[in-house]
Amino acid sequence: MLKRLTPRLIIIILAIAIAGILLYPTIQHEMLSPEERQELREQGKLAELESKIIRRGLDLQGGIHLVLEVDVPTLVNNIARNKSQLFEEVFQQAQSRLNEETTFLNEFLEVANQKELRLVRYFPDRGIQNEEIISSLQEEATDAVRRALEIIRNRVDQFGVSEPTIQKVGNRRIIVELAGIQDPARARELIQTTALLEFKLLKTPEVTNATIQKIDRVLRRRQGDVAEALGAQDTAETDTTIEEGGVAEDEAVSVDELFGGMEDETATDTSEDSTVVVDRQVFEEKPFTALLRNVQGQIGVPQKNRNAVNRILKMEAVQEVIPPDAEFLWSAGPEVLPTQAGGADEFHLLYLVNEEAGLTGGVVTDAQATLGGSGGQAAGQPVVYLDMNAQGSKTWSRLTGANIGRRVAIVLDDKVHMAPNIRSKISQGSTMIEGMANLEEAKDIAIVLRAGALPAPVDIIEERTVGPSLGSDSIQKGTTATLIGLLLVLVFMALYYKLSGFIADFALVLNLIFILAILAALGATLTLPGIAGLILTVGLSVDANVLIFDRIREELRKGKTVRAAIDSGYGNALRTIIDANVTTILAALVLMQFGTGPIKGFAVVLFWGIVSSMFTAIFVTRTIYQMFTENKTVKKLSI
């Protein structure tokens, strides 16, 4: 008679065996000591093992979750050529009309059509009709997302995070998940950096000086605007403490000389943030110059004056006197530089450079971060060495050869990292960048240079960070709660249904093992809501057995034999179990569809928990009953 039972037992044993095989890597991984883990990592075997285990979600191990969106307006603006006033107007208006329901390109098209702007003027080779051009730009944007995805993947891979998740969602978004990151700000920087590397020639000191003087003149004509630009009602003139006016009387023509004369004028810091440090007499004559300092022959801007200078440079009238082929750029970070008076102060450097880059970073083939060798100027300083491809080397060689004696700014994302003098023609294409705060920053810059520039800037529109300490708290509490919940249910079932309760308990434990095995097979990530799903499944999965057992009890009360009661108990309950579970599965499927990250994790566990509980609670328990009742007549059932 055991014949009927054999196929059932084989299926169960097979299922347990498969679950064991699926869970083995996870158990193996859990047992590893940190040293062994490191060893495996070095052998390159860790990634393989990690691909087979149940991964812990960010909320359980700490990490950062970013949703990035490609900045389409900037992309469009970058592509456009020969921009006119009208174009700028349309662009601005499209951007201001942007809201939650619209996309930039749609608004752009609409405004352009309204104002009868022919886009072909600005976007040649993309069709004639505005509609064609917009759809071509749409493709470009989609493509930009795809390229951004690749580039970010490259950067993250080199950053050295285990098991990063980088995926595209929808048309414009990219999700990046980095587990176990200690420094979210650094990761964010690394991902978001556009990494547009440009080499731009500095304007000659003569042009620079002339421009600064022109700005002075513009400002003097418009004192009121300056006051506004400086941000406070009672501008520098009242707020600034002035010491020893003497030297400033020197009205030297050269900017260098003028700055030199101002050095011992170091105005004292006042506590008000809106104050700037200027020399009053110079300010009246040369309001812009007064904000600047000569720092070792370069234009330095004291920390306090930076915003004021920025605001002045953005003024329309000021923009007009800056040569059309030039732009002002800031240095990458503040530098502590000795002043001529002998002290030291924090300065931002300001450069007037050619707007058009002599060479861009697309030609970079390799970038390495290291500490500058002894003897050189950058001895002991973090530097990045660049190698260029043949074409880049050629351009670089021509550029340097033709401009010996001039300075070239090495610009990353519109920030000048260094601006060395070209001493000789550089023909082999290798170049060094300095000006990084520390070796870590140099390494990150090298990574982004190697991976290439993003086709358009990306905005972070969602960020979730979980510190590692919270993660370990969560996993410990979650696991404890699961075990206690499980234990309570096991005890309750055993008390309430006696021996049959134990059978249900067995099925429940088996169910948990199966769910974990399925999670491992799916390569799923276990999150805190996932653990909640597990606990809920524990509660719900006994439901099938409760339904069956209550039916059996009913049948027994009606006076049926044990075997008949079991048979009709299972028979009657099955329909109910399916109906009841289908609705929960529907809810789980909806959650899987709509949910992001953690909610999806919850839904996945709930879904598979129900599916697996059908097998364990119905098939496995039935088989166990059959083993008991197959060959003998059981008089009494412990239920």
Partner 1 sequence: MELFAEANYKILEKRKFTAILSVVIISIGLLSILFHNGLRLGIDFEGGTLMQIQFEESVEISDVRSALEQVGLENASIQQFGAPNEIIIRVLRLEEQEGIKASEEIQATLSENIPGNPFNVRRMEQVGPKIGSELRGAAVLAILSALLGIVLYISIRFEFKFAIAAIVALVHDILITLGVFSLLNLEITLAIIAAFLTIVGYSLNDTIVVFDRVRENLKSLRRATYFNIVNLSINQSLSRTVVTSVTTFLVVLVLYLGGGEVIKNFAFALIIGVVVGTYSSVYVASPVIVEWAKRSESQGKLSKKR
Answer yes or no whether residue 581 interacts with partner 1 by CB under 8 A.
Answer: yes
Which listed residue (25, 231, 372, 485) binds partner 1 by CB under 8 A?
485
Distances (CA, A) of 120 to 76, 82, 324: 13, 11, 24
User: What x/- string results for residues 17 through 56 when contact with partner 1 is judged by CB under 8 A?
Assistant: ----------------------------------------
Q: Answer yes or no whether residue 535 interacts with partner 1 by CB under 8 A.
A: yes
Q: Which is nearer to partner 1, 275 or 545 (CB)?
A: 545
445 vs 155: CA distance, rounded Å? 10
CB closer to partner 1, 281 vs 500: 500
State the nearest-atom distance from the C-beta of 609 to partner 1, in Å. Answer: 12
Residue placing its CB nearer to partner 1 in the complex, 35 or 579: 579
Interactions with partner 1, residue window 541-570 (CB under 8 A): 542-543, 546-547, 550, 553-554, 557
Specify which residues 198 forms β-bridges with.
Answer: 360, 411
**Spatial separation of the C-alpha atoms in residues 398 and 391, rounded to whole Å:** 11
- Smallest gap from residue 583 Cβ to partner 1 (A): 4
Q: Which of 85, 129, 79, 82 is nearest to 109 (CA)?
A: 129
Of residues 5 and 536, the one with the C-beta less far from partner 1: 536
* Residue number with CB closer to partner 1 (172 or 417): 172
- Identify which range of 129-137, 304-312, 424-432, 488-496 contacts partner 1 by CB under 8 A: 488-496
Q: Is 68 helix (H, G, I), strand (E, B) or coil?
A: strand
Whether the Cβ atoms of residue 54 and residue 512 lie closer than 8 Å to each other: no
CA–CA dist 576, 555 (Å, integer): 16
- Which residue matches tokens 């299922």? 15
Q: Which of 469, 632, 635, 636 binds partner 1 (CB under 8 A)?
A: 469
Q: How far is the CB of 630 from partner 1 (least distance, A)?
A: 27
Which of 459, 522, 627, 638 is close enough to bind partner 1 by CB under 8 A? Answer: 459
Q: What is the DSSP letter of 421?
A: B
Q: Is 10 in the site for partner 1 (CB under 8 A)?
A: no
Q: Which stretch binds partner 1 (CB under 8 A): 241-249, 294-302, 559-567, 577-585?
A: 577-585
- The Cα–Cα gap between 475 and 464 comes to 18
From 138, 307, 365, 572, residue interacting with partner 1 (rule: CB under 8 A): 572
With binding defined as CB under 8 A, does residue 457 bind partner 1?
A: no
| Binding range to partner 1, per CB under 8 A, among 7-15, 32-40, 230-238, 531-539 | 531-539
582 binds partner 1 (CB under 8 A): yes
Of 232 and 321, which CB lies nearer to partner 1 in the complex structure?
A: 232
Among 81, 423, 495, 636, binds partner 1 (CB under 8 A): 495
Of 285 and 554, which CB lies nearer to partner 1 in the complex structure? 554
The interface mask with partner 1, positions 166-185, x = CB under 8 A, is: ------------------xx
Task: Give me the least distance between CB of 7 and partner 1, in Å please.
Answer: 30
From residue 89 to residue 128, the character string flagging contacts with partner 1 as x (rule: CB under 8 A) and all else as - is -----------x----------------------------
- By beta-carbon proximity to partner 1, the closer residue of 439 and 580 is 580
Please say whether the beta carbons of 68 and 461 come within 8 A. Answer: yes
Pick the binder of partner 1 from 338, 590, 627, 631 (CB under 8 A).
590
Instruction: Return the number of the residue (234 or 459) whose C-beta is nearest partner 1.
Output: 459
477 binds partner 1 (CB under 8 A): yes
Residue closer to partner 1 by CB (options 320, 463) is: 463
Task: Transcribe 525-558 into DSSP letters.
Answer: EE-HHHHHHHHHHHHHHHHHHHHHHHHHHHHHHT
Please name the residue that has the structure tokens 């050529």.
Answer: 81
Residue 301 three-state SS = strand
602 binds partner 1 (CB under 8 A): yes
Q: Which of 205, 284, 223 is nearest to 251 (CA)?
A: 284
109 vs 577, beta carbon nearer partner 1: 577
Cα–Cα nearest to 146, from 393, 428, 455, 368 = 455
Nearer to partner 1, 275 or 474 (CB): 474
Residues between 316 and 335 that touch partner 1 (CB under 8 A): none
Please give the size of the binding site for partner 1, defined by CB under 8 A.
74
Task: Compute the distance between CA of residue 66 and CA of residue 504 in angstroms, rounded to an integer.
Answer: 43
**Does 67 contact partner 1 by CB under 8 A?**
yes
**Residue among 178, 127, 126, 172 nearest 157 (CA):** 178
Residue 68, by phi and psi: left (phi above 0), alpha (psi -120 to 50) or beta?
beta
344 belongs to the binding site for partner 1 (CB under 8 A): no
Characterize the bridge pairing of strands 165-169 and 335-338: unpaired
Residue 589: count of CB within 10 angstroms of its CB: 13
Torsion of CA 188, 181, 516, 534, to 10 degrees: -70
Residue of the chain from 315, 439, 509, 540 that contacts partner 1 (CB under 8 A): 540
Three-state SS at 368: strand
Q: How far apart are the first and last CA of the chain?
A: 25
451 contacts 44 by C-beta, under 8 angstroms: no
Of 184 and 455, CB closest to partner 1: 184
Q: Between residues 368 and 576, which has the closer beta carbon with respect to partner 1? A: 576
Does 445 help bind partner 1 (rule: CB under 8 A)?
no
State both tokens at 208: 């620079």
Cβ–Cβ < 8 Å for 126, 132: yes
Least CB distance to partner 1 at residue 198 (A): 23
DSSP labels for 97-127? H--TT--HHHHHHHHHHHTT--GGGTSTTS-
Q: Which stretch binds partner 1 (CB under 8 A): 4-12, 145-153, 562-570, 572-580?
A: 572-580
DSSP helix/strand/coil, 57: coil
Residue 503 Cβ vs partner 1, minimum distance, rounded to whole Å = 15
Cβ-in-10-Å burial (0-12, 13-18, 19+) of 134 comes to buried
Those residues with Cβ within 8 angstroms of residue 23's Cβ, 6 or more apart along the chain or in another chain: 513, 516, 517, 520
**Is 273 near partner 1 (CB under 8 A)?**
no
Handedness of CA 225, 229, 232, 234 (dihedral sign): negative
Query: Strands 525-526 and 55-56: what pairing?
Result: parallel
Scanning 110-118, 204-212, 232-240, 467-475 for contacts with partner 1 by CB under 8 A, the matching segment is 467-475
> Of the candidates 496, 502, 615, 628, which one interacts with partner 1 according to CB under 8 A?
496
* Binding status of residue 261 toward partner 1 by CB under 8 A: no
Spatial distance between the Cα atoms of 344 and 298, rounded to a whole number of angstroms: 15
Residue 455, amino acid: P
Residue closer to partner 1 (CB basis): 115 or 477: 477
